[in-house]
Structure formats: structure tokens, C-alpha cells
Structure 1
């Protein structure tokens, strides 16, 4: 049975995260507190690998609060990386089913090569590190494997600060997943300047870089990680849009023109009502898609693409209206309105533009 709306436990989790973020700590201290006090990085990781054994729904709640606070955080990239290593627990599924050998890498078979047979243990070593708060990211791009990694992946979210890297690379038999030491010889990490100062990116250049194979057939794992990335990004977009709406409504009540608050003007009321509709529909669509993912419904992929498309465009619309309705102050460094716009623009490109997501809905 799906949760049509967040439960009381979800609301309590959101309140805890909100209170933590209001303390105004540095990004590093905030990340440590999220992992230590909330267990944010461990939520979707199975208990047998040091995690909390929850589902993406709980992580969605945390991410929406991070989106609202415009918090610099590696949670998005870390959640996607962990999903490429292990399946999430499913309602009604035993732990052994939720974390079988296929979900952790390639299946162990009698006579399998040593690297393949040990891929499960490698993933099992990495997952507890993520659960403890070690930052990770998944890099995809024009990278090939022929005993070593060569090629380029760009832009890669938080690749400049990640403590270990997972890299998808093509080989003669398909696509594999590999673990790479960020300090490995032949690897160059070049930070990239982005619109949003709260998100960091880097280009990864590989020149015969040694890597540990996790799975030589990672197609399904990477597809699942991509879906999780879309849904996690949607959560950040919903939070960002809510922040823009709240900020605009509060300003419209305070700013006066012609002797009355601008929020009393009918034309502006209509625009803010449209913003509210965008936010509410985004939240409903994203939550429905997350629940479909958690419970493995047949239309989970389509709902994820629909949510990704709608939430991206809604966040962009709300951010644009936030700037417009704040007037000149919105484009100054002193006001946070510009951060809403920059966050919405950056998030809209992470896992495909809205029109690309809609194209995926065409049979």
C-alpha cells in the first residue's frame, strides 16, 4: 500500500532536518550533523551494510528540506552513487531479496574470474563508508575500460570534493561500473564554474587509470541510479520552488506601492496563486513518483520522467516569478532571490532537460 501523502513520521523527520538547518552551520558541519544526527546518508542503504534500511521516501523528505534551505550538500550525488551499488529494500521483500548479489555487483558463479567474484565484497565495503557520511559520486560520460579507464566524464556533480568515485565505462561486452581512488595516477579533476554557487562540478579526465571492477554488467544498476537521481532532484526542486513562493508572498505583504502592500493588487495575487499551484502539483507528482519507485509499480519509470519534467519547469517558473515580483532587489547579492533562480536553473539540467524527460514518455 502506498502512502498517498507523507506520514506523521515523515513530517517529524522534516521538522528535525529543518531545525538542524536553521542553526546556520558551515556546509561541512551541516553535512556531518545530517549524517550523525539524522543519518541522512544511511537512509536508503540496507541495514546489513551499515545503513538504516529505509526507502527513497525518507530521503525525499530530507532532500526537500535541503532544497528549501538552498543548502550546499553532497546528499544528492551520494544517494545516486549508493543506488548504483545496491538495491533499496522493497515493501514486503525480505532483506536477502532486497540485497542479493546481483544488486551488489555481478553474480558470484563457480569458476568466475577473481575480480567478478569479489565485486560483491567490494560493494559491501563501499556501502558502509557511504552510510557513515563518506561523500561519493557517480560519473558517466565517454569513458572506456580496457584493463584501465580512459576518456572523459563531464560535468560530474561534486566530483571535485567526492572522497571516492564510481565510474560507468564501456567495454567490449557492455557497460561496467568501477571504483576509482580520487588520487589515482592518470586521473585529473578539474573544477568547473557553475551558475549555482551551492553546487559544485568537475571534469574527470582518465588516462590509463587503475580501477576496481564492481560490475561488468551495470546497465540495470545505472538505469535505476538514473531514476533515483531524477526523483532526488525533483525533491530539491520542490523545496526550492516552495522557498521562492514563501519568499515572494512575504515580500508582497511588506512592500508597499501607491500606499498599499503590492500583495493586495489583483494581478499579483493571480501570479502568486499560479506559483502556489505549480508548487503543489510538483509536490504531488514527485511524491507519487517516489511511492511508485518504492513499491515497484509497473509505471514507475513513466511517473519518474513525468515528475522530473514537471518539477523542472515548475521550479524554473516559480524562480522567474520570484525575481520578477521582487523587483530590483532580487538581482542583488544581498537578497536570496537570485539563489533560487540559480538553483532552479542548475537542477533542471542534471538528469535531462524537461523536453528530454517528456520524450521518454512517448511509446
Structure 2
């Protein structure tokens, strides 16, 4: 007979709590009102995909920006499970907001610093209140072991260039890791140039950052900075899986709805056996992705010793499921799915871009192989 799990081996709780369900309802209602498909399509055709009013409603009015921040620092004192629920909903609507990069990665980086002194606590309070957006100045494709110093410090001034930084065009503050520590740099200060790029995913803009004798506030020394950046990237990769889950769920739901309504030969196309099999397979993948994403969020929330493994498993699996779901969505929508007016292409582009965010699936499979001491595929 198997012994009952001890406190140390307690299985993770993958179910949603009542609080998490209430949070989901609030976020979904806001996004349905201010971030429907025509609105997102209209904004990406402009030069500014971000909607300041949407960010204010999400980050400040609902308070999602401070979910990871303790109450004594001005946040909500919640955790990664709640932040994961928010990201699921943002994935369902491909919302063009800097939540993952600012409220998760940058915030987690600051919280992981050894010293919570004046500048750090002040910036955390600004981020939690939604008054500022901070972005970690590393490429979006950087993985946890690749958290190297992308800029050098010369004579006390920041010099260097970082390419492909996600959400940098929306940032008020850059968190710049260097060989000499972690610095907070105001994007409006002299010597800071943020050059927007043309990304595949227009709902998450990328930019190159050039620092020329810029001045920043030192937040941590080198060792503490490297540890903090790695923690930020770990949280980012783990909760990115929840965004991928939400994206895949929308694609499946929308595809099922469309194939029920679309008729051919006087029958709903969803009744054809070949299509039913494809959607059933996708449903199985989405259910498995939900388990992996929830496990990663729970591991981050509880500080599990298996957090690194849980995050790697979630990313290795969920990124593939999101891409597959988006591809099936476009294919099963047939001609209309290929048009610019239909939002399906937004989900495919987000899924493809997310598949290299904070490490590719191949990188995370190598992490799993290293943890379990097996040869990588």
C-alpha cells in the first residue's frame, strides 16, 4: 500500500481556487470590453499597439500589476498562481500589454535582490501601482543560463547595446544587468535610445536598446544581480506557459465554434470524422498543457525544490501545443482563417514568438535531461 504523501511530497494543487476564478472573471470582463479582436487588429495597424487606458484598468484598477509584490511594499501580496490566471486571459485575447515583462519578469527580478533598499522598494511600489512599466534589458529569446551581462560599465557610465528586448517601447524604466551589477535606467534620460523593430508578433513589440554614457541607479552588485536576473527569467518562462495555455484554449474554442456553424454538404463541417479527430487530439493536448502550466505556477508560488524542472517541462510542452493549436485554428477556418481581418493570425504569430521566449523548447528539454541525468535528445 502506498503511504500517504507527507508535507515534503505533497502533490501540487492544480485546481483553481474561488479567488482565482473571481480574478479570471474580472480580467476577462475587462478584456472583453476593451480588448476584443477588432480593437486589437485596429491597434496593431497603428504605431502604438499599447492602450494606456487598458493598461490602467488591468494594472491599477484591478490591481494585477502588484500580484507578486508583498502588501508592505504596496502590492496585493498574492502569488504566481494568480498571475498565471491573468496571463491565461491575456493569452486568450492576445492583449498588447506589458504584463509578462513588467509585472512578472522585472518585478520578480527586483524581489529576488538581496537588498530591498530605498530605490528597489520605491520602484516596486511604482510597478505594483501600475504607474510605471519596467523591462529587463535582455533579449526576449534569452534563457535562464544565458542571463549574461549585455552591457558594460565604463567609468561609471553605461555603454552597450541590447537587441530584441520585448516591450521596451512601452517601458519607463530599464533594468540593465552589467558586469558591475544591476542598474535602473530611465528610458527618457540622456544617452538612452530605444529603437523599435518590426517583430513577427505585432502585439508584443521588440526594440533595440543603445546606451551611450547613460546614467543609472545601482540596485545590486554583480553576484546578486545575476541571481536576481535568473529568478526573473525562471518566473517569466514558467508563467509564459500560462499565456500559451490561454492562447491554445482560445484557438480550440474558436475552432469548435466555427466548425459547428460552418456547413458543407448540408452538414456542419465539425461533424466530419477527420475534423473531429483533429479537434479531439488538440483537446487532449490543451488539457495536458493546462496541467503542465498549473504545475509550474504552483511550483513558483510554493518555492518548490522542483521549480526548475516544473518550468522546463511546462515550456518544453506548452510552446508546442500553442503553435499546434494556432495552426489548426487557421487551417480549420479554411479561407477566412488566412485573412488579415480574422484574428487567427494574431494567435499564430504570438504562439511562434512565444516559442522562443525565455528559451526554446529544445533548450528546456536539455534542462530536463540535465536534471534527471539522461542524455538529451
Alignment partner, residue 243 of structure 2: 236
Q: Report if aligned partners of 2:252, 2:283 keep a CA contact under 8 Å in 1.
A: yes
Return 5+ residue gaps in structure 1 as ranges.
88-100, 105-119
Measured against aligned partners, the alpha-carbon deviations of 1:96-137 in whole angstroms (never above 9, x if no partner) come to xxxxx7153xxxxxxxxxxxxxxx211011011001111111
How far apart are the structure 2 equivalents of 1:103 and 1:47? Answer: 17
TM-score (norm 1): 0.88
Whether 1:73 and 2:97 are equivalent positions in the alignment is yes
Q: Report if aligned partners of 2:312, 2:365 keep a CA contact under 8 Å in 1.
A: yes
Whether 1:148 and 2:149 are equivalent positions in the alignment is no
- Among candidates 235, 252, 273, match of residue 245 of structure 1: 252
Q: Report if aligned partners of 2:185, 2:216 keep a CA contact under 8 Å in 1.
A: yes
CA positional deviation for 1:277: 1.1
Alignment partner, residue 108 of structure 1: none
Alignment partner, residue 3 of structure 2: none
Alignment partner, residue 293 of structure 2: 286
Alignment partner, residue 119 of structure 2: 122
Alignment partner, residue 27 of structure 2: 17
TM-score (norm 2): 0.85
Q: Report if aligned partners of 1:196, 1:342 keep a CA contact under 8 Å in 2.
A: yes
Aligned residue pair count: 331
Alignment partner, residue 204 of structure 2: 199
Return 5+ residue gaps in structure 2 as ranges.
1-9, 40-50, 140-149, 371-377
Q: Report if aligned partners of 1:140, 1:169 keep a CA contact under 8 Å in 2.
A: no
Measured against aligned partners, the alpha-carbon deviations of 1:124-154 in whole angstroms (never above 9, x if no partner) come to 1101100111111101263112312111111
Alignment partner, residue 108 of structure 2: 83
| CA RMSD, 1 decimal | 1.4
Q: Report if aligned partners of 2:239, 2:296 keep a CA contact under 8 Å in 1.
A: no
Q: Report if aligned partners of 1:103, 1:221 keep a CA contact under 8 Å in 2.
A: no
Matches within 5 A, 1:154-165: 154-165=163-174
Whether 1:177 and 2:182 are equivalent positions in the alignment is yes
Measured against aligned partners, the alpha-carbon deviations of 1:18-52 in whole angstroms (never above 9, x if no partner) come to 11111126732111111233101011111111111
Moved more, 254-263 or 141-150: 141-150
CA positional deviation for 1:4: 2.7
Measured against aligned partners, the alpha-carbon deviations of 1:244-288 in whole angstroms (never above 9, x if no partner) come to 101100111011122211100111001001111111111110101
Q: Which runs of 4+ in 1 moved over 6 A?
A: none
Q: Report if aligned partners of 1:35, 1:132 keep a CA contact under 8 Å in 2.
A: yes
